[in-house]
């Protein structure tokens, strides 16, 4: 049963917030994602006129909160290829140019499925020849780490670290549950 809110009426947000599963961080506090979910639930209940689109991406503007909404570890394809994105701030992918350039270089280690007939040509994210692939993967077999290879390696390590952290957090979340506040 969902209550509707009318102007001038008190709002009880306790039920929705207390029914949310809250996972605690190792420090005994709810995680940042849970605190934001609780905050968004109370905002949504107390203000019915707020638009869902502005609320949906409210946490993507601050750099510390980029991973809460969408996949900010991936560059926006439109921003990368055309230099602009029609979704603007509402886009769920990263528009950071340095991030996009590093990802473009990292993708060059895979062959384009369209080969030389590719529509994107030099702007394609993938390699069109074996020479480009050999150059891009040189660092895997102990090749010299030039600036290009170093950037690719750091992006790859960052993604691996993030994925590993997320997997470990999900796998071991039971260790951090608070016995006094069961989920």
Confidence grade of residue 180 (pLDDT, cut at 50, 70, 90): low
Total domains, the chain: 2
Model confidence over 146-173: pLDDT tens digits? 666 667 777 777 776 777 777 777 776 6
Q: Which of 50, 65, 86 is the last residue of a domain?
A: 50
Percent of the chain past pLDDT 90, that is, above it, reads 0
Model confidence over 106-133: pLDDT tens digits? 666 678 888 878 888 877 777 888 877 7
Are 45 and 103 members of one domain? no
Q: Is residue 58 in some structural domain? A: no
On the question of pLDDT at 143 being above 70, the answer is no
30, two tokens: 């709810």
What Å distances lie between residue 139 and 2, 20, 48, 151, CA to CA?
57, 46, 54, 11
């Amino acid at each position: 049963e969902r209550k509707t809110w009318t102007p001038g009426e008190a709002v009880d947000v306790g039920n929705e917030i207390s029914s949310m599963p809250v996972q605690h961080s190792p420090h005994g506090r709810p995680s940042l994602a849970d605190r934001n979910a609780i905050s968004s639930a109370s905002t949504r209940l107390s203000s019915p006129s707020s638009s869902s689109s502005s609320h949906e991406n409210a946490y993507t503007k601050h750099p510390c909160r980029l991973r809460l909404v969408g996949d900010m570890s991936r560059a926006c394809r439109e921003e990368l290829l055309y230099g602009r994105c029609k979704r603007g701030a509402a886009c769920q992918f990263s528009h950071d140019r340095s991030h996009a350039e590093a990802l473009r270089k990292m993708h060059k280690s895979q062959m384009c499925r369209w080969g030389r007939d590719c529509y994107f040509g030099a702007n394609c994210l993938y390699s069109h020849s074996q020479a480009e692939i050999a150059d891009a993967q040189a660092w895997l077999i102990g090749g010299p780490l030039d600036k290009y290879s170093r950037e690719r390696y750091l992006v790859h390590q960052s993604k691996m670290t993030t994925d590993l952290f997320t997997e470990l957090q999900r796998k071991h979340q039971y260790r951090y549950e608070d016995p006094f506040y069961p989920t």
